Amino acid sequence: MKSKLQSQSIILVLVFLHFWQASRVRPVGDDYTMLRIYTDQGFWSTLNEFWMNFGGNLSAAVMRLSLISFSSDASNWLGFILYSLITSALILISYLILFAWLNSKKLYQLNPKEVILCLAATFIFEGLFTPGSSSIYLFGAASGVHVWPICILIITLALITVKEKSKLIGVRLFRFGSFVTLGFVIGNSGMAEGAASLCLIPVLIFMTYRSYELGFDKSSIRYLQSLFLGILFGFITIFIAPGFKSRLSRDSQLVDLSGNLLEQFRSSLVSFSGELLTHPIWLLLLLALPKMSLVLSCMSKVRAKVLTYSFLILFVLTVLGSTFGYAAWHQSGGLLVLFTPGLLAVSALLSHKNYRGSMKTSRLLSTGLLLVATLIFCLTLRGLYFQEKRSTEWESNLVKNYCLQLRGTGEKFLGAEIRYWPLGLGIEDVNRWKWMSDDYAAWLKTLGPVLKPKCIESP
C-alpha cells in the first residue's frame, strides 16, 4: 500500500511539472508570422499564405493555428498551453506504447514503476549545449513538424494492432479512412519524418507477411497499406505547393550544389551527431547495461531491431534533408523523442549478445551511474529554469515593446531568449532577427485593446 502511494505521488508530481511547464509557454519564432497573418487575414487566408509562400506542410499549420488562434489577442495563452500539453501527452503515450511493445505487453499490463519510467523519460531531452526541452515543448512550430508526426505514427501503428470486433463493411471503411487521414498528417508534417515513415511501413508489411511477431496480423496488412497511402499523399503534397519552391529559394542552399553539397552534408552530420552525443542519456544506459541485463533480455529482439532501424533511418534522412537546406538544433525534435527508446532497443540487443548472467555492477560503475543521473537531473532543472525565466521576460517585454511602438521612438524591441553557453544555441527572439521583429511589430499593432491600458505614456 505504501509503495503504491509513493508511485502515485511521483506520477502526480511529474504530471504537475508538465502542466506547469506548459503554463509558461509563450510565442516564439515562427509564431509571430502565424499570429501576424491570422490577426490580419483570418484562418483560411493564413493557410493560403502558408501554401503559397512557405510550403505544403498544411497539417502542422492547421493543428498549430487551430489552437494558438485562441491567444491571438494576447488576452490569454490558453492556445499555447494546450498545444504544449498535447505534445506532452503524445510523447508520453508513445513512450508507454513503445515500452509495452518492446516487452510484448499490453498497455494495461504496465506496472506503476514502468509508467514512472516512461513519464520521467518525457523530461530528459536536455543536452549539454542544446535546450532540447525548449525545442519540444516551447518551440511548438518545430515540434508540430518534427515531434508530432513521430508520435502520431507510433500511436496509429498501435491502433492498427487492435483487433477488429466488427466485420461490418462500414466499420472497415471507417478504419481505412481514419488510417489514410492519420497517414496524411504524418507524411505532410516534416520531410525527414514523412520519408522515414515511408521507409518503415513497407518493412512492417513485409515482416508481417512472414510472421506476426511485431504484433500485426494478416488483417492489419490492409490498414498498414492504407496508412502508407496516406503518408505518401501527404508527403507529395509538401512538394506540389507553390510555397515549397519559394521557401527553397529563401533558404537557398541549393544555389550552388556542386560546390558546397559535401560541405553541407558534413556540417549536418556533425551537427546532429553532436546533438545526440552531448545528451548524456546514452551514457546512463551504457553504464546501466550490466545491471539491467536480465530485464533487457526479456525484450523482443526482433522488435528491438525494428525500433533501432527506425531511429537510424530517421537520423540518416534528417541529415540528408538538412544537407539540401540548413541544419538547426530545433530540427532534431523527432530524433530526441526516439533517442531514448532507440537506445533502450540497442541495449536490449547488446544484452542478448553479451551481458546474460553478467556480474553485479561494481562500486565504480554505481558511482558513475549516480553522477550521470545527477547530471541529467541538473540539466532538466536548467531547462525548466530557463523556460520560466524566458516566459517572465517575454510577458514583461510584450508591454514594454508595445509602449515603444506606440511612442514611435524607433528603439529596438526587447527580446526574451534562451541561449546556452558556450555555443549560444537556443531560442532566439525579436531583438536578433529582422523578420521576427517585423512580424512581431505587425502583430503588436492589433493588441491595443489588451495592452494599451497597461502602457502609461511617460511625460
For 89-112, write each residue's pLDDT tens digit. 999 999 999 999 999 999 999 999
pLDDT at residue 243 tops 90? no
Contact 337, 223 (CB under 8 A): no
State yes or no: pLDDT of 181 exceeds 90: yes
Question: Distance from CA of residue 309 to its chain's centroid?
Answer: 19
42: left (phi over 0), alpha (psi -120 to 50) or beta: left
Model pLDDT, residue 250: 60
Percent of the chain past pLDDT 70, that is, above it, reads: 93
Q: How far apart (Å, rounded) are the C-alpha atoms in residues 175 and 228? A: 14
Is the pLDDT at 3 greater than 90? The verdict is no
Rounded CA separation 430/440 (Å): 7
* Chain center to CA of 262: 28
For residue 457, what pLDDT is reported?
52
Contact 390, 427 (CB under 8 A): yes
Question: DSSP per residue over 324-368, as a string?
Answer: TS---GGGGHHHHHHHHHHHHHHHHHHHHHH-TTPPPPPHHHHHH
pLDDT tens digits along 112-139: 999 999 999 999 999 999 888 999 999 8
Closest CA to 438 of 40, 7, 26, 11: 40
pLDDT, residue 356, reads 47
Per the confidence metrics, is the pTM higher than 0.85? yes
First to last CA, the chain: 66
Comparing 252 with 342, the larger pLDDT belongs to 342
pLDDT digit string (tens) for 281-295? Answer: 998 888 887 777 777
Least confident of 23-27, 77-81, 251-255, 446-450: 251-255
Residue 390 one-letter amino acid: R
pLDDT, tens only, 60-93? 999 999 999 999 998 899 999 999 999 999 999 9
Average pLDDT for residues 183-194, to the nearest whole number? 93
As a whole number of angstroms, the longest Cα–Cα distance in the chain is 80
Q: Specify the range with the lowest mean pLDDT, choosing from 230-239, 257-266, 370-379, 381-390.
A: 257-266
What confidence tier does 229 reach under pLDDT thresholds 50, 70, 90?
very high
* Alpha carbons 274 and 3: distance in angstroms, whole number: 40
